[in-house]
Amino acid sequence: MRLHRNLVFATIDSLSEIFNENKQASKVLQNTLKRDKRWGSRDRSFIALTTYDIVRWKRLYAEIAEVHSPYKREDLFRMFAVWATLRGIRLPEWKQFDGTPTRRIKGKFDELSKIRKYRESIPDWLDEVGEKELGKKWDAEIAALNEQADVILRVNTLLTSISKAQNALREEGIETETIKGYPDALKLIERANVFSTKAFKDGLFEVQDASSQLVAPFLDVKPGMRVVDACAGAGGKSLHIAAHMENKGQVISLDIYESKLRELKRRAKRNKAHNIETRLIENNKVIKKLHGQADRLLLDAPCTGIGVLKRNPDSKWKLSPEFLNEIRETQQEILQSYSAIVKNGGKMVYATCSILPSENQEQIATFLKSEAGQNFKLIKDKAVSPSQSGFDGFYMALLQKL
């Protein structure tokens, strides 16, 4: 592979914003990739994949390169040199790469690969928490979370079928395959920009990880029900619920962020999901008005997002032990206060994209012992393992109000 100066420099610029200015990787890349109209899909792909790779392996590469945060420009070039050397890419004779110790890089890599926190490129505290909560399973899970995520689509069954969506994408040069056990999912065989396709603009699919697609069926929704999605965000699961309800009944999508609900409205329009109503949680009255009203309630609770590190590798550098403690409190508060929305005999699902029992099974156990939880029983729960499924780490618990 021949390295092109403008693409390498764009990668270095992106890394500087992500590491030194604490900006979100996906947003930084969105802006970087618009910088030069002459870049083809291969050029943009190089910048995006290389940036994500170096973000994912930041701790390991920084240790090999002997550089420390905040990273100067020459530090970032040294980390890039580590990335290229470990991939067998010959470094060009640019002054930025003068004196790169290729042999020493490989030797240090072999040495550090024996220590998990370097091998898997994670902060000390996260390695300790993972081992404490998951024991021997932690090795396999964190290794799986460092693999690149597949691009998974959820076919919008309000407008099309799996086979028709597959054909529509094939006509636009995008090949996909079905996934056993995930009836609405298609996996891209090769990465591509699906958002520019006619099929996407026509609402035939959304991008949604396979694990996330398990939630709507787990919630056991039926056409004609009143369903509340209490932490809806931009609405991936609300849209899937609407499709399962065949546009019959009502989906009330709540969130504390107006911008996310605006995005949900746009997506619902494109999906032709007509039974979704958005409501902004401005105060407790919004929740109180819904007490005892819902046949089904989805609590897709805020969490550490450890289960989705493969698609958000920059988040492991932003997480902290303090945040983990705060988010556990928030999760329990949401369970205690929002569970009142469920009517007698109704059901709710508590879900997170975390693999830590302290955010999952332990939260349900605490809730069931509380005053708010004494009227609920656990019907079933499911923990999705990244190492076993190949997809995001996820947890779901289905509870019924007696």
What amino acid positions are annotated as catalytic residues? 353
Closest CA to 84 of 191, 1, 14, 6: 1
Q: How many Cα atoms are found within 13 Å in the side-chain-facing hemisphere of 392?
A: 25
Residue 70: cis peptide before it, omega within 30 degrees of 0: yes
CA distance 218 to 224: 17
| Residue type at position 161 | S
In degrees, rounded to 5, the angle at the alpha carbon of residue 270 between the alpha carbons of residues 267 and 275 is 75
CA dihedral (388, 361, 315, 28) in degrees, to 10, reads 80
3-class state of residue 118 by DSSP: helix
Taking CA atoms, 52 is separated from 124, 147, 310, in Å, by: 21, 11, 10
- Full DSSP string of 276-330: EEEEE--SHHHHHTTTT-EEEEEEE-----GGGTTT-TTHHHH--HHHHHHHHHH
Q: Measure CA of the first residue to CA of the last residue in the chain; give whole Å.
A: 63
Extended beta strands in 137-280, E state: 152-155, 176-179, 182-188, 205-207, 226-229, 250-255, 276-280
Closest CA to 220 of 399, 368, 402: 399
Q: How many Cα atoms are found within 13 Å in the side-chain-facing hemisphere of 184?
A: 28
- Full DSSP string of 9-37: HHHHHHHHHHHHS---HHHHHHHHTTS-T
- Full DSSP string of 28-88: HHHHHTTS-TT--HHHHHHHHHHHHHHHHTHHHHHHHHT--SSPPHHHHHHHHHHHHHHTT
CA distance 32 to 25: 10
| Residue type at position 83 | W
**Residue 282 backbone dihedrals phi, psi, to 5 degrees:** -90, -30
